[in-house]
Amino acid sequence: MLPLHLAMPRDRPLSVLAIGAHPDDIEIGAGGILLSLAESQPGLRARYVVLTGTPERQQEARNAARAFLPAADLVVDLHDLPEGRLPAVWGEVKEAIEEVAQTCSPDLIIAPGPGDAHQDHRTIAEIVPTVFRDRLFLAYEIPKWDGDLGRPPVYFPLPDAVARRKVELLHKCFPSQRHRDWWDDEVFLGLARLRGMECRAPYAEAFHCAKVLIGPSD
């Protein structure tokens, strides 16, 4: 396993774009990396885009964006496209993401992956590379009933404190989801511990990445 480091801009803060189909997708899939970047990158610029959600769920998304990215220069875009029906409104999804691209040139994009079993997630995963063709795109994973977890090649190690803070914030920011039978510490920490074992870390988040450009260090 070869450790690589995210190239940091020399003349400006790091810019991150996080995209989710539903409120809580981003935080479940990438809450740890967001917490870590918010702590380690002064002046972090972050754009948050969530494509579906009732008013109640949208407020949860706003609260979560600020909780997971404290002190970041944060812009939040919330949409109310039909949940579970994003393939049917493919054009509207593409338009929403293209509008973001007109004002945002991120160093890192975090979004769902094309192998995700949920149709809303896959729709976003299909569109992101067509809009952002030369950006680092890490596709996060979300545990679900469908059992679609695979063998991701990219790992982001998480210290114990960050992994547990992520789970704490998931419970705090998304009270509407607490009734779900899969919404518990064992699922979230269990997957993070498994991914951590795979990369020899206490915990980790894992991602798929179709293309990575590797260059010599300065």
Q: Which of 112-126, 137-151, 153-167, 202-216 has the lowest mean pLDDT?
A: 202-216
Phi first, then psi: what are they for 64, rounded to 5°? -70, -40
Each domain of the chain, given as residue ranges in start order, spans 15-208
pLDDT average, residue stretch 186-193:
98
pTM of the predicted model as reported, rounded to 2 decimal places: 0.95
Cβ atoms of residues 65 and 74 within 8 Å: yes
* CA distances, 11 to each of 42, 43, 184, 207 (Å): 13, 12, 41, 28
pLDDT tens per residue, range 34-70: 999 999 999 999 999 999 999 999 999 999 999 999 9
DSSP 130-158: HH-TTSEEEEE----TT------SEEEEE
Query: What b/e readout covers 202-211, taking b as 16+ CB neighbours within 10 angstroms?
Result: ebbbbbbeee
pLDDT of residue 212: 85
Q: Measure the CA–CA gap between 19 and 64, rounded to whole angstroms.
A: 13
Q: Measure the CA–CA gap between 196 and 206, rounded to whole angstroms.
A: 9
pLDDT of residue 215: 75
Cβ atoms of residues 209 and 183 within 8 Å: no
pLDDT of residue 7: 75
Longest dimension (CA), the chain: 51
What superfamily would CATH give domain 15-208? LmbE-like (3.40.50.10320)
Quickly list H helices, 75-150. Answer: 90-103, 119-131
Length of the chain equals 218
* Contacts for 75 with CB less than 8 Å, ≥ 6 apart: 46, 47, 48, 104
Q: Measure the CA–CA gap between 133 and 196, rounded to whole angstroms.
A: 30
Strand (E) or helix (H) holding 48: strand 45-52
Mean pLDDT of the chain: 95
